[in-house]
Structure 1
Amino acid sequence: MIVRIMGEGQVRLDDGHLTELNKLDDELLTELEGGDESGFRRTLLALLEAVHRLGTPLPDDSLEPSDLILPSPDATLEEVREMLSDDGLIPG
């Protein structure tokens, strides 16, 4: 799967890591719904760090269709709310 982090580029990530990412996504959704700004920021950064740790960056000149788009590390609570689907940022 190809994951795009807004403002950073793309990362190739094995589908087997979705379970770990979905746990963080669920936490993020709970914090968004509760308006927990500090929890939201901590979990968003943990989610993006996990994508970097588990994935392989694509070259800057590569432009693959993205299967998943995640917000930038400095995205606001409101910006992330606008990106959400019923399943959060990560379907499943």
Structure 2
Amino acid sequence: MIVRIMGEGQWEVADSHFPELNKLDDELLAEMESGDGAGFRSTLGALLDAIRRLGEPLPDDALEPSELILPSPDATLDEVRELLSDDGLIPG
């Protein structure tokens, strides 16, 4: 799956990594619902770091359609709320 981190670029992430990513996404959703700003910031950073660690970065000149778009590391709680679906940032 091609994942874009807004303001950074794209990574190709194998489907086998999505259980780990979904766990972080579930934590992020719970922190957002409870208004835990510090937890939200920490978990968002961990989710984006996992994408960078587990994925293969695409070249800057690659124009692949992103199947998943994640917020930038400095996104606010309100900005991320606008991106959420019922499943969180990562469907499934």
Q: TM-score, normalised by structure 1?
A: 0.99
Q: Distance in 2 between matches of 1:67 and 1:16?
A: 16
Match of residue 51 from structure 1: 51
Match of residue 14 from structure 1: 14
Give the secondary-structure state (helix, strand or coil) at the position aligned to 2:62: coil
Give the secondary-structure state (helix, strand or coil) at the position aligned to 1:60: coil
Deviation of residue 4 (structure 1)? 0.3
Match of residue 60 from structure 2: 60
How many residue pairs get aligned? The number is 92
Structure 2: stretches of 5+ with no match in the other structure: none
Match of residue 27 from structure 2: 27
Match of residue 76 from structure 1: 76
Structure 1: stretches of 5+ with no match in the other structure: none
Deviation of residue 72 (structure 1)? 0.2
Q: Which runs of 4+ in 1 moved over 3 A?
A: none
One-letter amino acid of the counterpart of residue 34, structure 1? S
Q: Distance in 1 between matches of 2:56 and 2:27?
A: 24
Q: Deviations over 1:24-55 (max 9, x none)?
A: 00000000000000000000000000000000
Deviation of residue 9 (structure 1)? 0.5
Q: TM-score, normalised by structure 2?
A: 0.99
Sequence identity (%): 76
Deviation of residue 6 (structure 1)? 0.2
Q: Distance in 2 between matches of 1:63 and 1:56?
A: 15
* Aligned-pair Cα RMSD in Å: 0.3
| Pair 1:37-2:37 in alignment | yes
